[in-house]
Chains A and B, each alone.
Chain A
Amino acid sequence: MLSRRNFVLTGTAGALSLGFAPRLAFAQAATDKRFVFIIQRGAADGLATVAPVGDPAFAAQRGVLAQDFAEAPRLDAMFALHPSLKNVAGLYAAKEALFVHAVASPYRDRSHFDAQNVLESGGTSAYQLKDGWLNRLLGVLPDDERKAIAVAATIPMAMRGKVEVSSYAPSSLPDASDDLLGRVSMLYAQDPQLHAIWQQATATRALTSDLAADNGRNAAATGALAAKLLAADKGARIAMIETGGWDTHAQQRGRLAGQLNGLDQMIASLKTGLGPLWGKTVVLVATEFGRTVKVNGTAGTDHGTASVAWLLGGAVQGGRVAADWPGLGEAALYEGRDLKPTASLDSVIGGAAAAHFGIDPRRVMPSLFPGQSAKPVGGLIRT
């Protein structure tokens, strides 16, 4: 149903929001701790973010995608970090970044829609729960300051539920996102009339904006805005930032480098903006599932299973990669194609949330992830 406010209005194109097109959502909990969830919609390639360069099968399995890591910073004997993540590398060195690898939600098929629903609702299957785990987290926190806002056109699933979360959109009418434009190009590739029209349309657009530069700037601006809203007196304690464009089926190297650069800048400006509050902050970066181990026929990767989750911030017990590494050899792959999950994303989130907000670990899993039998992971947060 469309109402007045969710409709297109006369040519007020608003601020440019190209490429990275992040959206934020905020919620407030009565605590001086801050928690930010950055969701990577579209299935980010964990193997190309934190690469298992020490795995004997790595170079052969990843082919062209292994080339990015020739001189990438090493995290430990097994893993290297994508070179676009310069600021995150600095956080890792300062022991403020932790990665949990070969991690997955309970979902095991390969549909974005269903998987995002499981990731955000915290259920064990899609559409089983009607509210999100971030909203339920708000519910178990002290309730004296439950003023919440979402800086987004709509409130994401993870934040929907009983606790009221309002929303605030920085620009009402963004231009179409780069990711959608890219997909439209593919949609029109076989259609001579539309293909010609679309080539002209995108050429005109390319002349009027420097996508690469704007990409990173825009992401940084979103990080700064989030920090402002989190750092304000009586500001929000919990924020959610949506990012898209991770579904790299084709030409993954260039696209992922741009995506990770934007995310890196967003995190840097979030840290700068939070100032001393960074010490009390946990940033979770997670995606709905990973991507295939092998490169496909269009220099990209297809929908997979396990990926990597990030925990960043001064409150994080960082400087390490936590992984029960399953290996990249043929025999080790999940269904012969994907990184096999050896860690529960729900347990990582539950463990981080419980320790960060001082919630009884026995209480946190039934509240946030009912139906999940795994225990919360300990030792993620400085206490």
Chain B
Amino acid sequence: MSEASIALNRFGMGARAADAPPAAPRRMLIEQMERFTVLPAPIAAYPRTPALAADLAAAYDAVQMQTRAARRDGQNADAVTQEVRQAARQRGRDYYAQAVGVRAQAAVASDAPFVERLVHFWANHFAVSADKQVMVGLTGGFEFDAIRPHVLGRFRDMLHAVERHPAMLLFLDQAQSVGPNSPVGQRFAQRQQGPQRLGLNENLAREILELHTLGVRSVYSQADVTEFARAMTGWTVAGLGRGQGARLAQAGGQAGAFAFAPRIHEAGPRTIIGKRYDQQGEKQASAVLDDLAVHPATAKHIATKLARHFAGDEPPPALVGKLETAFLKSGGDLPAVYRALIDAPEAWVPQPVKFKTPWEWSISTMRALGTQEVPAQAVLGLLNQLGQPVWRPGSPAGYDDIAASWAGPDAVMRRVEAAERFASRTRETIDGRTRAAQLFPDALSATTQQAIARAESPAQSVALMLVSPEFLRR
């Protein structure tokens, strides 16, 4: 690959039909960081998280009101509320589908595709999965409002935004975690009500340590997880949490927004990874996050993942070291880390180092073909078919970032089928010979050039371009 091709394809999301090959590839990437728009038109037109959350909270409120009314009247609540429950679910699904379309539209049209790629990287690093009904409709807002504003900011700020976002608090059960010695916890224990469990939930605290910051098997122990979970109690979502804990929290504030609920917070000093935290209330977990955000283990974890994303499935240790240093020296200033990445020769090796994920392949395809309209349902369908449903990795670890997960026989066959369909829709208006040369400046193998040139129709030449080794990798 030429450096121009590396900048367009490995760092970017693939060239657009009209893009000229960059004369100064590194400078182009820096300029993209200066040019990046947090809220480009399609995303700006999508509701912000507070509006989304308030609307979804209202829909679930309606369910609760009907349920209470039905019980009061001695009716079967399940039967009575079926319609309104379906409406609430549907509202969440609609917001989700719309957001998927908006995300693709922004990526296809972006003139700062390097930063756009980083947004997707961080959204996958801090993965929420649209598996829980109550937060399906918030997944778009999570990326748009917690990740995007901080992609060129400090890691600390992104971490805070992410862990306070209702999608995360609901996905990893934080909203219903109750301190055993909190006012609610104590009252509950005295009354000894029923078999329902009410208490500490370690899920988010653990994933923050394991996935979001320090990394698995690093410097923390189970005792640290539990202590951190205690510190995190009280972090919840107003009016949208499920379960008794969330209801009893009586969190104030706007429905669907982050709230700190003192009634479920486990008060008292905490010791986490050898450091004592005497802060009160919300500030305590905040202080822990501040320290985690600049911890050397975090720097190493983030550096490794970024290096894997840009320099290969087995990230070169030298590059990991450079990124780690940049992270620590700058106190987690992300642009400083990105600049170290751009400066590192390890990220510019001429052989392709990554096999594109289905998302990357789809976006680069649409950019290559000059797609203007990106219908939400079509993107949903395509990504489901190719095996990477958007914001639905099924696990808080996110999607794998290695070829072994994506380069399989069925996966490649599906791409070939999709490529032929994409190509047939170009109505023979694109000639693969010229387009491929444009998209991969000085980077096409003789085999690929020949295959494209010998195609029996313009559409077939486009299909072959889309599944060529050059197009499948970056």
Contact = CB atoms under 8 A, between A and B. Distances in A.
Q: Are A and B interaction partners?
A: yes
B154 to A, nearest CB: 38
Interface stretch (A101-109, A183-191, A271-279, A336-344): A183-191
Contact of B381 (A3, A11, A176, A200): A11
Interface string A242-275: 0011110100000000000000000000000000
Given A176-B420, A181-B416, A9 B469 contact: no
Contact of A244 (B378, B408, B456): B456
Given A8-B422, A116-B457, A154-B424, A190 B447 contact: yes
Interface of B: 366, 369-375, 377-378, 380-382, 384-385, 403, 407-410, 412-413, 416-422, 424-425, 427-428, 431, 445, 447-448, 451, 454-458, 460-461, 463-464, 467-469, 472
A177 B421 CA distance: 10
Q: Classify chain A: how many residues form its interface, as a range.
A: 35 or more
A154 B425 contact: yes
A198 B409 contact: yes
A232 interface: no
A294 interface: no
A112 B456 CA distance: 6
Contacts of B412: 194, 197-198, 201
Contacts of A362: none
Contacts, number: 132
Contacts of B377: 4, 9
Interface in A203-260: 204-205, 244-247, 249
A66 interface: no
What are the 10 A-B residue pairs with the smallest beta carbon separation, nearest first?
A42-B456, A10-B381, A7-B378, A201-B409, A6-B425, A200-B409, A247-B456, A201-B413, A9-B381, A187-B451
Given A113-B428, A113-B431, A183-B460, 12 more contacts: A2-B373, A4-B377, A11-B385, A113-B461, A176-B416, A177-B420, A179-B460, A180-B416, A181-B416, A183-B464, A184-B464, A197-B408
Nearest to B380: A10
Contacts of A198: 409, 412
Classify the interface of chain B: helix, strand, loop or mixed.
Answer: helix
B464 A187 contact: yes
B381 A244 contact: no
A1 B420 contact: no
A11 B384 contact: yes
B409 A180 contact: no
A285 B416 CA distance: 29
A194 B472 contact: yes
Contacts of A179: 456, 460
A187 B371 CA distance: 25
23 contacts: A1-B371, A1-B373, A3-B373, A4-B378, A7-B381, A8-B422, A10-B380, A113-B428, A113-B431, A113-B458, A116-B457, A173-B421, A176-B419, A176-B420, A183-B454, A187-B467, A191-B469, A193-B407, A194-B469, A198-B409, A201-B409, A201-B413, A245-B456
B371, B409, B447, B455: residue with the most chain A Cβ atoms closer than 10 Å: B409
Interface of A: 1-4, 6-11, 41-43, 112-113, 116, 153-154, 157, 173, 175-177, 179-181, 183-184, 186-191, 193-194, 197-198, 200-201, 204-205, 244-247, 249
Given A2-B371, A173-B421, A187 B468 contact: yes
B41 to A, nearest CB: 17
Nearest to A186: B451
B192 to A, nearest CB: 50
Contacts of A8: 378, 381-382, 385, 418, 421-422
A321 to B, nearest CB: 26
A17 B380 CA distance: 25
Contacts of A181: 416
B446 to A, nearest CB: 9
A198 B467 CA distance: 11
Nearest to B427: A154
Contacts of A173: 421
A2 B425 contact: yes
Nearest to B413: A201
A43, A175, A183: residue with the most chain B Cβ atoms closer than 10 Å: A183
Contacts of A244: 456-457, 460
A220 B285 CA distance: 71
Contacts of A11: 381, 384-385
A8 B366 CA distance: 12
Given A8-B381, A9-B377, A176-B420, A189 B447 contact: yes
A197 B468 CA distance: 13
B412, B447, B458, B460: residue with the most chain A Cβ atoms closer than 10 Å: B460
A198 B414 CA distance: 11
B424 A4 contact: no
A197 B409 contact: yes
Contact of B460 (A157, A180, A188): A180
Contacts of A2: 366, 369, 371-375, 378, 422, 425
Contacts of B457: 41-42, 112-113, 116, 244
Contact of B372 (A1, A183, A204): A1
Contacts of B425: 2, 6-7, 153-154
B417 A175 contact: yes
A339 to B, nearest CB: 19
A11 B419 CA distance: 14
Contacts of A153: 424-425
A204 B458 CA distance: 29
A249 B450 CA distance: 12
Contacts of B420: 176-177, 180
B132 to A, nearest CB: 22
A188 B409 CA distance: 13
A153, A184, A194: residue with the most chain B Cβ atoms closer than 10 Å: A184
A42 B445 CA distance: 23
Contacts of A113: 428, 431, 457-458, 461
A187 B381 contact: no
A184 B455 CA distance: 11
Given A2-B374, A153-B425, A187 B407 contact: no
Contacts of B418: 8
A48 to B, nearest CB: 17
A324 to B, nearest CB: 28
B404 to A, nearest CB: 11
Contacts of A187: 447-448, 451, 464, 467-469
Contacts of B468: 187
Contacts of A190: 445, 447
Contacts of A175: 417
A138 to B, nearest CB: 20
A161 B209 CA distance: 64
Contacts of A3: 373, 375
A43 B370 CA distance: 29
A186 B461 CA distance: 14
B416, B419, B463: residue with the most chain A Cβ atoms closer than 10 Å: B416
B451 A4 contact: no
Contacts of A43: 456
A7 B384 contact: no
Contacts of A154: 424-425, 427-428
Contacts of B427: 154
B424 to A, nearest CB: 5
